[in-house]
Amino acid sequence: MTDEKYLQIEPLLNTLKSNGRSYDFEKIKEAFVYAKELHEGQMRLSGEPYIMHPISVAEIVASLGLDTDSVCAAFLHDTVEDCPDKTNLDEITRIFGADVALLVDGVTKIKSINVEDKEEAQIESIRKMLLAMSKDIRVIFIKLCDRVHNMRTLYVKKDAKRRATALETMHVYAPLAHRLGMQKIKQELETYALQYLDPIGYNEIKAHIEEKYGRNVNFIENLQTNVTDELAKTSINFTLSGRVKTVYSVYRKMYNQNKSFDEIYDFYALRIIVDTELECYTVLGLIHEMYKSVPGRFKDYISTPKPNMYQSLHTTVIGKDGIPFEVQIRTREMHQIAEYGIAAHWKYKSGEKSTADIDTKLDWISKLIATEEEAIDPEDFMHAFKIDIFHDETFVFTPKGDVIALPLGSTLIDFAYKIHTGVGNKMVGGKINGRIAPIDSVPQNGNIVEIITSNASKGPSRDWLSIVKTGEARNKIRQWFKKEKRAENIVVGKSVIDKEFSYLRSLSEDDRTAIISTVAKRIGMTDADDLYNALGYGGASISKIEKKIRDEYDKQYKEKDVKEASPAVIEPTIAPTKKKYKSTGGVIIDGEEGCVVKFAKCCNPLPGEDIVGFITKGYGISIHKLDCPNVQAAFSNEEYVTRFVKAEWDTPSSSSYRAAYETSLQILVTNRISMLAEISGALADMKIDIVSLSTKNVEDTTLFNMTIACRDVSHFNSIISRLKSIKDVIRVTRTMGTR
């Protein structure tokens, strides 16, 4: 390695050699030489040759222990953008392979983001977008290293630029590093950012620290000596280091947690790294023998790791002069994770993307579900990573640079309605990255999307309803038709009725209107035109009114004769007959042979509950719960009472004893992102099928209406109690159907 050409990257090569992984040194050197030639003649603002920047970034990347391709990409990360006449992605692919090109492209695409006037939610979207845009997490690692070096050299920039970069670092990149568990990078980013964002606060705390602890300059050294002497008496193989809390973490503790300077107990810390978990606890015992411990400050993150996988023992003890200090004890492996987080875990096998990789990801995410000490909303982060894996959302920019999140597969029309209803309704076209695109185009992550509107627009087209992906857009389009096109909708609605219900054709216009009008009123509308209109704009569906129209028709035209023929019986008792017959559905009906049984939707009876059969006209026997309100009402109706038959549950044979009975329930929960996942997870655990599901948000609660299939009433009760045991579930109730 004495070749003069590589003198500049000698330290980096040594770092790589010492970290125990295998590297393609020839490829790394080639990337360095290539980048150096391309950046030849370019200067940084500081006056240094430009190549110093990629070298520094590559050094930081190397210190994280990343692979050959990442180091190469670090050298090349600014070439495509800064030297467009000398190279491009195809060139990089040809020389260094598709993986390196992908990384370079990913880093190039992450543009600087103006976070100045953005709200918390927007910034969260930006972080998610960055993760989603980077199909390979190494892109984020390299970008973070790039940012570290830019922060180290930020002093050369102009004031306004400094502030913008520092703000973006504090709001976007430091939290990203934190969430990836990359402690060192996070601390460096925060320290630099704070210096530019609040120089007064930074200096005040710095001075405070120096004033209070300045006279104890040797405090940490003395501690180290004392503890080292004590540990040396044992056979434990250990590494010991001392640290002083960073200005930013003191700053944040003081400002966010509203603490005084004296309430910061972990300003000084000793870190003891040992070989085994058992030794961690042994060392802890020794420390507690040497120093008096501060009550309530012991934390065992070994048995209960933090969501970002951090493991360690923490305790706070009082040293000489009454100065408290924290002791952190962990194994070497735990230390790797603490310092480099996910980067320490990411193993890249060249080219192969196995499902095992995905499993590792998922495993890691599942650890994030637990709540973190600093309350950074792990659910949000979990969600962000789901995007990375499942890609269920697309993030696009408005021309102004705002980030809009859309469900995957959303079209330009969805985007337009997401921006504003008025934009959607006046939309005549759209552009993606400045180019005219068809309105049904699906924009990709990071695209800049623009909607062309015109006051001459005649409004949305009915076809859009089948193009749009989001319910939001669909509803808004329907609303428009409801409002603007009533006459047209009524014509459409009438023809729909005409087509679907041929039996109505024999009726006169007035009779037909009477039926439709009655049905309309039953579903809360004013008149028949309302219902026609709703059918026309899509606010009501045929399937919902089908049965109601049939019933109404039967009632008026079919049942008239039957009514007169029915003898009046007042007693609601049902006489048992001698013969019992097995029917379908696991029900035994008295005196009726081979009849078709169906379970009433109004009460969804379950095996184990008292039931009764009702002989319908032409639809077999419907089984109701005995206490079903409809049944109770019918008992006092002389016309119906004779049509009841005794019914009971058959004793099931083990083979047919399966979850086959549908029942509806309602779950009220406090809003939390993973709530539905937890509920469906609990049901999946119990092997319960969800037949249908709808949700409704009411302020900070959500109401889930679902139909599930279960075995019997005791099975159902066990499901209810399991659901009630889920955190933030307020109420679980069995519900009656709609009819």
- Tell me how far, at minimum, the Cβ of 41 lies from Mn ion, in Å: 17
| Smaller CB separation from Mn ion, 78 or 188 | 78
DSSP state at residue 737: -
- Tell me how far, at minimum, the Cβ of 143 lies from Mn ion, in Å: 9
Candidates 17-25, 72-80, 349-357, 418-426: pick the segment binding Mn ion (CB under 5 A).
Answer: 72-80
Number of helices and strands in the chain (H, E): 33, 21
- Tell me how far, at minimum, the Cβ of 124 lies from Mn ion, in Å: 25
d(CA 133, CA 14): 33
| Smaller CB separation from Mn ion, 60 or 525 | 60
Question: Using the rule CB under 5 A, is 59 a contact of Mn ion?
Answer: no
Contact by Cβ (8 Å): 613, 583: no
φ/ψ of 313, rounded to 5, equals: -105, 135
| Smaller CB separation from Mn ion, 112 or 444 | 112
CB atoms under 10 Å from CB of 106, counted, come to 22
Candidates 71-79, 89-97, 117-125, 615-623: pick the segment binding Mn ion (CB under 5 A).
Answer: 71-79
Q: Which of residues 699-728 bind Mn ion (CB under 5 A)?
A: none
Selection from 56, 10, 64, 17 nearest residue 35 by Cα: 56
d(CA 397, CA 14): 42
φ/ψ of 95, rounded to 5, equals: -85, -45
Q: Which of residues 118-157 bind Mn ion (CB under 5 A)?
A: 146
Candidates 78-86, 112-120, 190-198, 284-292: pick the segment binding Mn ion (CB under 5 A).
Answer: 78-86
| Smaller CB separation from Mn ion, 39 or 245 | 39
**Which element (helix H / strand E) includes 396?**
strand 393-397
Selection from 388, 395, 338 nearest residue 362 by Cα: 388
**Which element (helix H / strand E) includes 621?**
strand 621-625
- Tell me how far, at minimum, the Cβ of 113 lies from Mn ion, in Å: 15
Question: Using the rule CB under 5 A, is 78 a contact of Mn ion?
Answer: yes
| Smaller CB separation from Mn ion, 59 or 146 | 146
- Tell me how far, at minimum, the Cβ of 50 lies from Mn ion, in Å: 9
Candidates 74-82, 85-93, 244-252, 440-448: pick the segment binding Mn ion (CB under 5 A).
Answer: 74-82
| Smaller CB separation from Mn ion, 145 or 621 | 145
DSSP state at residue 294: P
393-397 vs 580-582, strand pairing mode: unpaired
- Tell me how far, at minimum, the Cβ of 195 lies from Mn ion, in Å: 20
- Catalytic residue (one of 24, 30, 82, 91): 82
d(CA 63, CA 340): 9
- Tell me how far, at minimum, the Cβ of 40 lies from Mn ion, in Å: 17
- Tell me how far, at minimum, the Cβ of 116 lies from Mn ion, in Å: 22
Cα 292 to Cα 273, 313, 327, 470: the distances in Å are 21, 16, 12, 61
Candidates 70-78, 174-182, 519-527, 528-536: pick the segment binding Mn ion (CB under 5 A).
Answer: 70-78
| Smaller CB separation from Mn ion, 173 or 480 | 173
| Smaller CB separation from Mn ion, 146 or 414 | 146
Burial degree of 293 (CB within 10 A; 0-12, 13-18, 19+) = middle
d(CA 362, CA 354): 13
Selection from 442, 453, 460, 452 nearest residue 396 by Cα: 442
- Tell me how far, at minimum, the Cβ of 260 lies from Mn ion, in Å: 41
- Tell me how far, at minimum, the Cβ of 53 lies from Mn ion, in Å: 6
Strands (DSSP E) contained in 275-392 are 292-293, 299-300, 313-318, 324-331
Cα 379 to Cα 129, 175, 242, 451: the distances in Å are 16, 14, 34, 33
- Tell me how far, at minimum, the Cβ of 134 lies from Mn ion, in Å: 16
- In SS3 terms, 186-206 reads as HHHHHHHHHHHHCHHHHHHHH
d(CA 265, CA 299): 14
- Catalytic residue (one of 10, 40, 48, 81): 81
Residue nearest to Mn ion according to CB distances in the complex: 146
| Smaller CB separation from Mn ion, 146 or 326 | 146
Candidates 76-84, 156-164, 632-640, 726-734: pick the segment binding Mn ion (CB under 5 A).
Answer: 76-84
The question of whether 230 is a catalytic residue gets the answer no
DSSP 121-140: HHHHHHHHHHHHH-SSHHHH
User: CA angle, corner 656, sides to 655 and 660, nearest 5?
Assistant: 135
Q: Count of residues binding Mn ion (CB under 5 A)?
A: 2
Any residues with CB less than 8 A from the CB of 599 and at least 6 apart, and which? 585, 605, 622, 623, 661, 662
Q: Which of residues 577-596 bind Mn ion (CB under 5 A)?
A: none
Candidates 73-81, 157-165, 443-451, 471-479: pick the segment binding Mn ion (CB under 5 A).
Answer: 73-81
| Smaller CB separation from Mn ion, 55 or 628 | 55
**Which element (helix H / strand E) includes 624?**
strand 621-625
d(CA 109, CA 207): 40
The question of whether 339 is a catalytic residue gets the answer no
d(CA 687, CA 605): 20
- Tell me how far, at minimum, the Cβ of 428 lies from Mn ion, in Å: 41
d(CA 147, CA 170): 11
| Smaller CB separation from Mn ion, 78 or 530 | 78
| Smaller CB separation from Mn ion, 78 or 266 | 78
Q: Footprint of Mn ion on this chain (CB under 5 A)?
A: 78, 146
Residues forming the active site: 81-82
